[in-house]
């Protein structure tokens, strides 16, 4: 069953970031190839300079894809909350991907600040998409303060390492069967995205893996196919792994030499 995100069913389980592309035309081509359900946009890119981001925002609007603003680059609760309020004014949506970064080398979330910022923003009417870890206790806290979606990382942002803690991600899916879950960060190739959907995740968020590819549009199409394959595989109820070989050809009735 397809889950809704704050009452909205996405057209695709692929969320696509819009940063780091070589040019606006390449970004446009990548979005068209990916056919994402959502594009994420950073307020800092929109507001840099005096209306310097207006052309970028015009481009995003013409793509006709739902927008999820984010608080990328924020390191404190105050900074994240202020950025979220500004994003709501600029982009005209109460959806916000909440990032509160706590460690510079790994860009790991500050989960304590994240929970507090999520509480403040949900009380202010935001629909918060928190970038978090796969920690179940943190997840419980985020849900308790009003979040209806969780976005655990697969690996550090931009690392391309894929799903570093499959056990933890699988445990989160089992622990919160009704909560929409998105693997956010660390996905490097389409097979990582397919794996996330096979685990039962409802969406994946990709940025660097597409933007920094040799051909972003082709890579975007590859991710579009991968999430479709992963979702179909999950729906088909995959076989479980086995420790021993099981012959695929039955031996009953097989001719035997005396």
Q: Can you tell me the mean pLDDT for 47-68?
A: 74
Task: Please state, in angstroms and rounded to a whole number, the distance separating the CA atoms of residues 94 and 113.
Answer: 20
| 226 domain residue, yes or no | yes
In order of 37, 52, 213, the CA distances from 16 in angstroms are 8, 22, 14
Q: What is the pLDDT of residue 172?
A: 97
Positions at the binding site: 158, 185-186, 207-208
The residue annotated as part of the active site, out of 3, 62, 78, 97, is 97
Kindly state whether residue 29 falls inside one of the protein's structural domains.
yes
pLDDT at residue 212 above 80? yes
- The CATH number of the domain holding residue 75 is 3.20.20.70
Q: Which domain holds residue 217?
A: 9-236
What's the confidence (pLDDT) of residue 48? 47
| Mean predicted confidence (pLDDT) in 104-118 | 93
215 to 14, 24, 67, 221: CA distances (angstroms):
18, 14, 24, 10
81 assigned to some structural domain: yes
At 101, the pLDDT band (50, 70, 90 cuts) reads very high
What pLDDT digit, counting tens, does each position of 113-152 carry? 999 999 999 999 999 999 999 999 999 999 999 999 999 9
Q: What's the whole-number mean pLDDT along residues 166-172?
A: 96
27 has a pLDDT exceeding 70: yes
Q: Is residue 4 part of a domain?
A: no
**pLDDT, greater one: 57 or 9:** 9
Is 97 labeled as catalytic in the residue annotation? yes
Number of domains in the chain: 1
Indicate whether 248 belongs to any domain: no
> Among 36-40, 129-133, 239-243, which stretch is predicted with the lowest mean pLDDT?
239-243
- Range with the lowest mean pLDDT among 50-54, 208-212, 218-222? 50-54
Mention every residue, 6+ apart, whose C-beta is less than 8 A from residue 218: 33
Output the pLDDT for position 65. 92
Cβ neighbors of 122 (< 8 A, separation 6 or more) are 128, 145, 146, 147
Known binding site for 1-deoxy-D-xylulose 5-phosphate: residues? 158, 185-186, 207-208
CA–CA dist 199, 3 (Å, integer): 15
Higher pLDDT, residue 240 or 156: 156
- Side-chain-facing half-sphere of 100: CA atoms under 13 Å: 22
| DSSP secondary structure code for residue 2 in this structure | P
CB burial of 165-192 (b: ≥16 within 10 Å; e: otherwise) equals eeeebeebbeeeeebbbbbbbbbbbbeb
Please check whether residue 40 is in contact with residue 63, taking contact to mean a CB–CB distance below 8 angstroms. Answer: no
> Within a domain: residue 255?
no
User: What percentage of residues in the chain have a pLDDT greater than 70?
Assistant: 92
Residue 249 lies in a domain: no
Residue 76 lies in a domain: yes
């Amino acid at each position: 069953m397809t889950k809704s995100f704050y009452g909205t069913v996405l057209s695709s389980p692929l969320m696509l970031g819009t940063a780091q592309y070589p040019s606006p035309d390449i970004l446009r081509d990548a979005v068209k190839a990916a056919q994402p359900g959502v594009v994420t946009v950073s307020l800092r890119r929109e507001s840099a300079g005096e209306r310097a981001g207006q052309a970028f925002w015009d481009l995003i609007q013409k793509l006709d894809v739902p927008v999820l603003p984010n608080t990328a680059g924020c390191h404190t609760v105050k900074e994240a909350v202020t950025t979220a309020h500004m994003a709501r004014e600029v982009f005209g949506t109460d959806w916000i991907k909440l990032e509160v970064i706590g460690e510079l080398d790994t860009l790991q979330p500050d989960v304590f600040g994240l929970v507090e910022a999520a509480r403040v923003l949900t009380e202010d009417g935001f629909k918060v998409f928190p970038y978090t870890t796969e920690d179940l206790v943190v997840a419980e806290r985020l849900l308790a303060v009003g979040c209806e979606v969780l976005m655990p990382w697969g690996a550090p942002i931009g690392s391309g390492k894929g799903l570093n803690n499959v056990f933890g991600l699988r445990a989160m899916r089992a622990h919160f069967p009704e909560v929409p879950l998105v693997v956010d960060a660390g996905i490097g190739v389409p097979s990582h995205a397919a794996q996330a959907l096979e685990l039962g995740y409802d969406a994946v968020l990709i940025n660097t893996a597409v933007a920094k590819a040799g051909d972003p549009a082709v890579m975007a199409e590859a991710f579009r196919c991968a999430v479709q394959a992963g979702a179909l595989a999950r729906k088909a109820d995959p076989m479980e792994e086995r420790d021993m070989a099981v012959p695929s050809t039955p031996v009953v009735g097989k001719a035997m030499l005396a």
